[in-house]
Structure 1
């Protein structure tokens, strides 16, 4: 029996290696498992929880769709669409927000991190974002959702919302509680300039990340300049304690090779960073350069990308509109 998988990526532009290894590469693997039904959403409604330039947002929606396709997601066998084109997402989010409890949302650590000290000045959307995320998932009866550590709490909330809705409206198992899919052999991808900071597009230094649109020369240059330490590469995993940069680079190599960290450590045990960086650049170019070239090609064909998103939205609407119709009937609309 295959899994019903739903996942979304925010159209923030400049998708990087962390996005690829943390999410998109995994999407491709899940799609390639027979019997899996996969729905991949460009979550543009989530993107506007913080202020966006409308022209940039439109460009970023297309770029995210192009990145999905260039990375190997097949728009014929999987559904690729953007959230704002399926009205059921907004409708379900409102209904589910009337079931959710303030206490639940107050416990969300990601909101506290993003809002910081300016809690009174951020949008209500940023606060209620996890309810929209629950609506996204529950509309499609998803059985599994690929999540990183930062989204696990949101998925737990989604399960709580589903259970409460079912109880409130005496509809056992109507909203399906999804299971998390946690990647094996995956290291969190950190900045190339600071091994304790997550790789991020908001970092002012472009040298801190490998963008999925980087050329071969840019990749080589960034890896050459990536921060390391004066020691040789470790002989055992325990030798990585207090060596975040070494751990990050070895983690990137392991994730690209689909092997565990121990195997990578034994491969480069006692060698110097220059030799390791050459090998890391090689594997990055092999995996990222074809994606980069394909993204650039697809971005030159906006009509094709818009057609993919429209067709995907139509397919998603067929599923979501049936579910929202039943939700409304249960509520009494």
Structure 2
């Protein structure tokens, strides 16, 4: 039975790119045979940048409600909040004591912050949470004996350093205290275009909200950048941002029909309307369930607490193994 672990950082409201790029693939992975899926909301990781309590609480619940609304079954998947498993932070300290500063200086996230800093002191604005982020991420992974960690290529380094930390600890104490994880890289990971054609990203402010009300969803779609081709003029469907998005969500027969309309001449407003309609057909039912969960805090919190209890049951066993190995047992 393969153990697969994924973390979701609650730093912004989900958009349609998150659905195809992360949510749907993760749920499909959880339904594979001979697989134990463990998905956690990385609320303490979010604390490196989100410094408003009400905002972090809302974003955490928003992530939980979104994933459940789109089909994640908490009864079949270990779904929990990072903050509900305090053992994570004890293991993180153990790993810190076996991690050199040189390693941390080479971490991509830290270097990216340095490169983007406009301050004379390049470390200005970089808190220790950002600097030690990979150590906490390693603890997230290693505490649950994860075999596979699905990541994009930009996150590969985090899995590699978790593996290095586990090897160092195992070598030092001459026993297998921690299981070595492997990265699962999806070479086919989709890059979802945003309103302006660049990768859909909150940092570019070019997203289409995933579970916004129907009118708000349609309003966002209408902001997609187009050219000044007259409505009656034939258009190339293979050079259309609207069509690029439409193909990701529509059925093959719907795509074929819209292609014909492009070639015959279609106004950009009508094309955007077709995209809004197909998006609405995908998200209408999940949005109903999402709204239900967000309105019923007790139900959502109960699901997360149950997941946290199950997660701690496993985490305490792994931490006990580590404690015994390093000589801190009780």
Tell me if both proteins adopt one fold, taking TM over 0.5 as the criterion.
yes
Given that residues 75 and 308 in structure 1 are in contact (C-alpha distance below 8 angstroms), is that contact kept between their aligned partners in structure 2?
yes
* Alignment-derived partner of residue 85 in structure 1: 84
Whole-Å separation in 2 of the counterparts to 1:198 and 1:212: 12
Q: Distance in 1 between matches of 2:139 and 2:311?
A: 13
Contact kept, 8 Å, 1:268 with 1:276, in 2: the verdict is no
Deviation at 1:81, TM superposition (A): 0.9
* 2:294 is equivalent to residue 299 of structure 1: yes
2:259 pairs with 252, 258, 268, which one? 268
Return the index of the structure with the highest Cα Rg.
Answer: 2
CA contact (8 A) 1:213 1:293 kept: no
Q: Write the mapping of 1:105-120 to structure 2, written as runs, cut at 5 A.
A: 105-115=104-114, 116-117=116-117, 118-120=122-124
SS in structure 1 at match of 2:79: strand
Counterpart pick for 1:153 among 147, 151, 157: 157
Kindly report which structure 2 residues correspond to 1:248-267, keeping only aligned pairs within 5 A, or say none. Answer: 249-256=242-249
Change in 2 beyond 3 A, CA 1:279/1:152: farther
Is the contact made by 2:2 and 2:34 (CA closer than 8 Å) also made in structure 1?
Answer: yes
Structure 1 CA distance for aligned equivalents of residues 173 and 182 of structure 2: 19
Q: Does structure 1 residue 168 correspond to structure 2 residue 138? A: no
Match of 1:209 in 2: 207
Aligned to 1:187: 190
Q: Residue 30 of structure 2 contacts residue 37 of structure 2 at CA under 8 Å; is this kept in 1?
A: yes
Query: For 1:36 and 1:257, how far apart are their aligned partners in 2?
Result: 29
Secondary structure of 2:278's counterpart equals helix
Question: Retained in 1: the 8 A contact 2:39–2:77?
Answer: yes
Q: Relative to structure 1, is the Cα distance of residues 325 and 172 closer, same or farther in structure 2, using a 3 angstrom cutoff?
A: closer
Which shows bigger deviation, 270-279 or 72-81? Answer: 270-279
Deviating above 6 A after TM superposition, structure 1's stretches of 4 or more consecutive aligned residues are 264-267
Q: Distance in 2 between matches of 1:126 and 1:250?
A: 39
User: How far 1:121 sits from its partner (Å)?
Assistant: 2.6
Q: Secondary structure at the match of 1:145?
A: strand
Aligned residue number for residue 311 of structure 1: 306
Within 5 A, what are the aligned runs for 1:24-103? Answer: 24-103=23-102
2:136 paired with 1:126: no
User: Alpha carbons of 1:144 and 1:250: their partners in 2 closer, same or farther (altered >3 Å)?
Assistant: farther
Does structure 2 retain, via aligned residues, the 8 Å contact 1:163–1:177? Answer: no
Q: Comparing 310-319 with 91-100, which one deviates more in the overlay? A: 91-100
Q: How far is the alpha carbon of 1:32 from its aligned partner? A: 1.8
3-state SS of paired residue (1:40)? strand
The Cα of 1:257 is off from its aligned counterpart by: 5.3
Q: Is the 8 A contact 1:4 1:143 kept in 2?
A: yes
Give the 3 Å change call, closer, same or farther, for CA 168–62 of structure 1 in structure 2. same
Pairwise CA RMSD: 2.7
User: Alpha-carbon deviations, 1:237-261, whole Å to 9, x = none?
Assistant: xxx6xxxxx46x55544443599xx
Contact 2:177–2:325 at 8 Å: present in 1 too? no
Deviation at 1:173, TM superposition (A): 7.6
Structure 1 portions without partners, runs of 5+: 241-245
